[in-house]
Chains A and B, each alone.
Chain A
Amino acid sequence: GQQLNQSPQSMFIQEGEDVSMNCTSSSIFNTWLWYKQDPGEGPVLLIALYKAGELTSNGRLTAQFGITRKDSFLNISASIPSDVGIYFCAGPYAGGTSYGKLTFGQGTILTVHP
């Protein structure tokens, strides 16, 4: 099956710093999704990307769908303590199954020091 390689696995940053994380795959994806999960909660969709080359922003978050369709990155600018959590990239399983299965990256654990 498809694999998503997400990096870095964890980040420890100071409040106010910018953050960048990315996902790569050996297979082509048609959609990239970025989720954030707070402790004890379910993942929340941050940004969805549907076209190669697409650059989308949501407040301090910016994500891009790579031109090769095999990668995506998420940037967070001017981090704040509430950015703490686990960030997951996700993409649809390429098997074409409808109501399908998402492949998730392994997650990036973000810690922000005040």
Chain B
Amino acid sequence: DTEVTQTPKHLVMGMTNKKSLKCEQHMGHRAMYWYKQKAKKPPELMFVYSYEKLSINESVPSRFSPECPNSSLLNLHLHALQPEDSALYLCASSQGQATNYGYTFGSGTRLTVV
């Protein structure tokens, strides 16, 4: 299995809703990432988990809450989002340091906040 699987593929939520994005990989990768991507722009890093511990938080607002229940799963909990949070949310994983191996990205969750 060489994939990163993200669910759901599409999500529409109101500003008062609570929802979660899920990401799963079975490649034995020990680093997992959340990225946010606006249309025709490069991905922007949000969070990095290394060995199931949060190692990097790129000053992301607290309405985004990541969680890594085990080495294969990564969640992103969403609460009280704003319309400007609408974007493609990408999960990625890597075997080791990204400098040597690059990332494997999932297909993303297209989030629309109304």
A: residues with CB less than 8 A from B are 30-31, 33, 35, 40-45, 48, 50, 86, 88, 90, 92, 97-102, 104-107, 109
Contact = CB atoms under 8 A, between A and B. Distances in A.
A75 to B, nearest CB: 19
A90 B99 CA distance: 10
Contacts, number: 69
Interface string B24-52: 00000001000000001111010010100
A45 B103 contact: yes
A105 B94 contact: no
A45 B94 CA distance: 12
A48 B41 CA distance: 21
Interface residues of B, number: 30
Interface in B48-84: 48, 50, 55-56, 58
Given A88-B42, A107-B41, A31 B110 contact: no
Nearest to B33: A99
Nearest to B98: A100
B99 A92 contact: yes
B45 A42 contact: no
